[in-house]
Structure 1
Amino acid sequence: MIDILAILSASAAAGIRIGIPLLIIGLLHGGHLWSKVPILSHISPSVLLGFVTVWSLIELVASKKRLGQRVLQIFELLLSPIVGAIMGLAVSSTTIAPTWLIAFIGGLLALVFQLVQVGWFYRLRGLPLWAVFLQDFLCVALVLLAFNAPWPGGLITFILLWLAIRSAKEWYDWYWQYRRQQSKARS
């Protein structure tokens, strides 16, 4: 059960940002960097460290401006399922399930969280600065909790998933209210 919560917590972090969780995992593995992380273990550690560090800095800087948020969303929407799968596999310590299932669940959770962020971005016409800082904090906290305290990390992930479901319902209601107003305006 603890392994499942760790997988969910790490994958949720990948659904918020993609570079920062990979950088933290690489640094937490100490001198081995990404040698135990699937897919990433085949890439030179120095090249990977440079790329992930640069991407993390881009995420931290670009996410504070509206145009930067929009550009980041394109890349993060495409890459979050892959990074979510990698993160899920990286923190799984036992073989509680087949690796393809862990990767699928991790990737799907990361994609859901990324879609919710895109939805809020377009609904609010850009995320407020306090929300961006909250995302950065949650991303780092979820990765650290995946390794050190999976219970709270899993609980935070379930709360975020509940908020994502509530957001989807709000958007659905908002969309149908908008459609009714448009049909009344045409009549």
Structure 2
Amino acid sequence: MLEVLAILSISAATGMRIALPLLLIGLLQRESLWSSVPLLSQVPPPLVLGVLVSWSLVELLFSKDRLAQRLLQIVELACSPVVGAIAGITVARLMQTSQELVPVAALVSGLLALVFQLVQVGWFYRLRGLPLWAIFLQDFLCVLLVLFAFDAPRQGGLIALLLLWLAIRSTAEWRQWYQAQANAGDRRFPRRGKQDPD
């Protein structure tokens, strides 16, 4: 059960940022660095460190600007399933999960990371840019969830489940908001008669 909660925690972290969780995973392993991380273990550690530090700085610094947020979201949305799967496999291996469950961990991690990225994109377009406090909260939660995945998987998994519940609630709210914009007779087809993109 702890393995599942740890995988959920790391998935939620990769759903917020993509390089920062991988950087923290390597730094938390100390001597072995990224030796248990799929794909990254095949690349020389100095190169991995340089790329992850650079991209983490880009995520942390440029995510505060609205135009840069949009560009980052495109990259993070495309990469989040892969990074989520990599992080899920890593946590499953480090927690010595049975080999049969490793592909399931990869699939669940990748999908959960994609869901969280989609919710972020949805909020970005709904609010016409994320507020600064929300971006700082994402950064904080990302680091916290990675640390919890290794040191307190129960708490990390519960936070991830709470975030998933909020994501599901968000989609229901968006649907109601979108339908409320339509005329009374077109509630089931809110796009009917619209010329401009939403």
Q: TM-score, normalised by structure 1?
A: 0.95
**Where does residue 148 of structure 2 map in the other structure?**
145
CA distance in 1, matches of 2:54, 2:125: 27
Structure 1 182/74 Cα, relative in aligned 2: closer, same or farther at 3 Å? farther
The amino acid across from 2:97 in the alignment is T
Which residue is 2:96 aligned to?
94
Partner of 2:71: 71
The alpha carbon displacement at 1:175 in A equals 1.3
Quick one: structure 1 residues 77 and 158, their matched pair in 2 at CA, closer, same or farther if it must change by over 3 Å? same
The residue type paired with residue 148 of structure 2 is L
Q: Look up the match of 1:60.
A: 60
Q: Are 1:178 and 2:181 counterparts?
A: yes
Which structure 1 residue ranges, 4+ long, deviate > 6 Å from structure 2?
none
Kept in 1: contact 2:89–2:103 (CA 8 A) = no
Distance in 1 (alpha carbons) for counterparts of 2:83 and 2:90: 10
3-state SS, counterpart of residue 98 of structure 1: helix
Q: Secondary structure at the match of 1:31?
A: coil
- Segments of 5+ residues of structure 1 without an aligned counterpart are none
2:129 aligned counterpart, secondary structure: coil
Q: Equivalents in 2 of 1:95, 1:154: separation in Å?
A: 16
Could you tell me which residue of structure 1 aligns to residue 196 of structure 2? none
User: Hey, what does 1:107 align to over in structure 2?
Assistant: 110
2: CA distance between counterparts of 1:183 and 1:104?
Answer: 38
RMSD of the TM alignment (CA)? Answer: 1.7
Any idea what SS the aligned residue of 2:34 has? coil
The aligned residue for residue 3 of structure 2 is 3
8 Å CA contact 2:11–2:110 kept in 1: the answer is yes
One-letter amino acid matched to 2:158: L
Q: What TM-score comes out, normalization by structure 2 length?
A: 0.90
Structure 2 unmatched runs, 5+: 194-198
1:168 aligned residue? 171
